[in-house]
Structure 1
Amino acid sequence: MAKSKEIRVTINLECIDCAQNFGKRCRRGISRYTTRKNRRNTPIRLELKKFCRYCGRHTIHKEIKK
């Protein structure tokens, strides 16, 4: 049988400030969140404003590949 594609998928969100400035400003790590999205309603990569505990402020978190 063919493998069915799931409508809701689990994605990872990563802080773009920590990823760009790793080693300069955010020495401890890179902030990542896990969430789910509907593939049919949002086919493009997701961007959310979340709190980054390493930067200490709200920053944009973008969807990354698993």
Structure 2
Amino acid sequence: MIVKITQVKSGIDRSLRQKKTLVALGLRKMHAVKEVEGTPQILGMIKKVSHLVKVEELA
């Protein structure tokens, strides 16, 4: 399963853990888009910052 992640809110004024999670997902700027494999580890990271990102499932 491929997942498309788009950052829709800023990481500014968030906890260090949330900022590092965004970077680990490959999202460094607002409206950045990244397509990643939907492994359990990636889905867990997405869940932790779900209020900052928009997720779409591809294929």
Q: Which has the higher contact order (CA 8 A, sep 6+)?
A: 2
TM-score by length of 1: 0.29
Structure number with higher strand proportion: 1
Q: TM-score of the superposition, structure 2-length normalised?
A: 0.30
Greater Rg over alpha carbons, structure: 1
Higher helix share: 2
